[in-house]
Amino acid sequence: MELAAIGEHPVKPHPVGLFCPGCTQPALGQYPASTHQSPVTGQRYHLYHCPSCDLDFWWPRQLSPEIYRSAALSQYEGYHQGTRPFPPWARLFFDLIPTHSGKLLDVGCGDGAFLARAATSGFEIHGIDFDSNSIRIAREKHGLQNVVDQPLDLYLESVRRSHTYFDVVCFFEVLEHQAEPSEFLEAILGVLVPAGWIAGSVPNRNRFLAKLDRRFGAGDLPPHHFFWFSARALNNLLTRKGFCDIRILPSGNIGFQELLTKLVHLAQSRLGPFAARWPRISKAISHIALWPVAVFLWLGLTWRPAHLYFQARLGSNDGP
């Protein structure tokens, strides 16, 4: 679910005038709001803000599939081991989506947890991800058959040739990974039935302690994430692509105990040799020390949740 599922894009040369990839408005004269040098790729990235549509975007943008396949970021270990719990940012889908039948495609389906639940709700499920390890878990753990390890452009070309269209296309925690979100949505439009639905989620740019989160972790930085969305930026992008009945809601908070467990795991990784030599003692100390921190974070994320869930319908006069 957190995996981008579109093919690699070459790095484009820096334009004389910078244009927003969300609304195409020129950002000439805009200076980078921030810079970041990735410890994974060694590439230096520059962050820009579009005053027209409120999108924050990084340049250059080049997808690096290997960071997912190799679990260079620790959060992908759960995908590859089949231990990840059901993604909380996808829960609203089952309460809010108006339809519970027809063909459903999950782009960036990861370990298949969402698809497995969608199947029990009445959908004919299909999934794609370019991470072969996650696809293996989707098949072995959840018994899913219609899931493939393939770049999105090749997959969509094959379904178009077979005149296959989907009633619902989902992409949870995928849009922020794309080199060009507008091109990604155009590709989705090509396989969506008239008046079909899309649903997904993105990290909430304005979540609680977002700046601190980025300082201590690389998960919301390039080459992992290239876009930081606000609700306004997300709505502007979907509206420009012809979607209507747009709903954007805060979502994705995890339970208190899961949050505490994540903090303890992070502390253990930082303690290094001490945690390895005395694991029980170090875990007990971490639980006691981090309990008030977990309370603080849990309350803050209740106020400003970590993700934005969205769903929208393609205008009835559009479609393939």
For position 189, which CATH number holds? 3.40.50.150
Q: Give the domain range for residue 294.
A: 256-302
The answer on 285 and 144 residing in a single domain is no
Residue 12 is predicted with a pLDDT of 45
Please indicate, yes or no, if residue 246 is contained in any of the structural domains: yes
In a domain, 57, yes or no: no
- What pLDDT score was predicted for residue 262? 82
Assess if residue 11 is contained within a domain.
Answer: no
223 and 292 within one domain = no
pLDDT value for 187: 95
pLDDT, position 57: 94
Burial of residue 185 (number of CB atoms within 10 Å: 0-12, 13-18, 19+): buried
- Judgement on whether residues 136 and 285 belong to the same structural domain of the protein: no
Q: What pLDDT, on a 0 to 100 scale, did the predictor assign at position 82?
A: 55
**110 and 245 both lie in a single domain:** yes
Polymer length of the chain: 320
> Per the structure, how many domains does the chain have?
2
pLDDT at 10: 43
In a domain, 51, yes or no: no
- CA-based torsion, 91, 94, 96, 101: positive or negative: positive
Which of 299, 312, 166, 293 minimizes the C-alpha distance to 234?
312
Residues 85 and 116 in one domain: yes
124 and 263 both lie in a single domain: no
Tens-digit pLDDT profile for residues 109-159: 999 999 999 999 999 999 999 888 889 999 999 999 999 999 899 999 999
Residues 87 and 146 in one domain: yes
Q: 110 lies in a domain?
A: yes
Same-domain pairing of 198 and 264: no
Let me know whether 195 and 272 are in one domain: no
Q: Are residues 210 and 270 in the same domain?
A: no
Do you find a cis peptide bond into 13, omega within 30 degrees of 0? no
196 found inside a domain: yes
Measured on CA atoms in the order 12, 320, 248, 110, is the torsion positive or negative? negative
Does residue 80 belong to any structural domain of this protein? Answer: yes
pLDDT score recorded for residue 92: 97
Q: What's residue 19's pLDDT?
A: 87
Same domain, 88 and 107: yes
In a shared domain, residues 309 and 279: no
Euclidean distance between CA atoms 277 and 282, whole angstroms? 9
How high is the pLDDT of residue 6?
40
Q: Strands 147-149 and 124-129, how do they pair?
A: parallel
Q: Is residue 227 part of a domain?
A: yes
Of 130, 164, 127, 156, the closest CA to residue 143 belongs to 127
Average pLDDT of each block of 10 consecutive residues along the chain (320 residues)? 40 59 77 84 90 92 67 52 76 96 96 95 95 90 93 92 96 95 95 97 96 85 94 97 97 86 83 78 87 91 94 70
Residue 91: the pLDDT is 95
